[in-house]
Amino acid sequence: MRFATRDLESGKGPVNYLDSTPMIRKDDKLVAISWEGALKEVLDHFARKRGEDRPVVGGIVSPFHTNETVFMFSRLMSNIFSERAVVGVLPPLEEETDIVFDSGFRISRDRSPNRQGLQHLCHGIVNDLLARAKKDKIRLMYALDDGVDREITQGWDEVLRKIDFLVVQTYAMSPLAKLAHLILPGPAPFEREGTLTNDQGRVQWLRPSLPLKGKVRQDWEIIMEVMNTLGKRELAYSDVGEVLAEMEKRFPAYEGVSLFRLGDSGLSINGQVESS
């Protein structure tokens, strides 16, 4: 069992951390399932089948995740689901304004650590995913949850309960996770490794404070396995540095960015990010 702590982002708590194994909903209860079984469930529900319609797939991505995870999620949605994918984000925690001092120093209202990286690496994000979900009648959804104790509005609750199959990749039993048909356990924030891009365009290396527990996998690794399962691909990144190297090839502004070069201070990018 993974331990619980307070939610440092929202100031609320305690947070219920998940066991380190996937869970599937059976008879309205979430029960443990193997990783192999979980990937088979994803294949059975998301794979294209001949002679059947191709339902719209909704994707929820989060600015609380690393560049590498966002990059892999974007590839999943655009390369595997392609034109039937609709990607958006959940609403921010609360509406505030930036704090600007006379000197010009600014504290951003946005407490998410990687919104800039999300904007760079995940193109085609819709402004109002809830409206699109209602309009396009999304039947399948893959949510990269941030684990924050965010209230699910009535509108979202109604949409999510109508979805045929909801996959939530998360580390905590958040309100969103409680509605899932399948939960894929990812690392808690202090277990993650990867890079983040702050609002000044500086890429920094996020190092894990604790090792992964049990059968938990890094978020980018889970997405890689899902891509391999659905697309019959053979992606075989062995560590986050290899994912970053692939990302560097596709986004010129990140050229030259490596874990070795980032060090403790990070690197600034030019901000002109266009995928090749």
pLDDT-above-90 percentage for the chain? 58
Q: Is 104 left (phi over 0), alpha (psi -120 to 50) or beta?
A: left
Is the predicted pLDDT of residue 15 greater than 60, yes or no?
A: no
CA 257 to chain centroid: 21
The ranges assigned to domains in the chain are: 23-268
Can you tell me the distance from the alpha carbon of 67 to that of 87, in angstroms, rounded to the nearest whole number? 16
More confident residue, 247 or 153: 247
Task: For 73-119, write each residue's pLDDT tens digit.
Answer: 999 999 999 888 999 998 664 555 555 556 665 555 556 789 899 99
Which stretch of 47-56, 95-104, 204-213 has the lowest confidence by average pLDDT?
95-104
CA angle 222, 143, 255 (to 5 degrees): 60
Please state, as a whole number, how many other Cβ atoms lie within 10 Å of the Cβ of residue 248: 15
Closest CA to 37 of 213, 220, 229: 229
So what's the pLDDT on residue 276? 42
Q: Report CA 90 to chain centroid distance, whole Å.
A: 11
Q: Which of the listed CATH numbers 3.20.20.80, 3.40.50.300, 3.40.50.740, 3.30.930.10 matches domain 23-268?
A: 3.40.50.740
5-14, 59-68, 70-79, 86-95: segment of lowest average pLDDT? 5-14
pLDDT at position 226 is: 97
CA distance 217 to 213: 9
- pLDDT band, very low/low/confident/very high, at 239 (cuts 50, 70, 90): very high
Identify the pLDDT of residue 265.
85
* CA dihedral angle for residue 179, residue 25, residue 62, residue 15, rounded to 10 degrees: 70
User: Which two structure tokens, joined as six digits, stand for 257?
Assistant: 């960015």
Nearest CA among 93, 84, 83 for reference residue 63:
93
pLDDT band at 54 (very low <50, low <70, confident <90, very high): confident
Please say if the pLDDT value at position 51 is more than 90: no
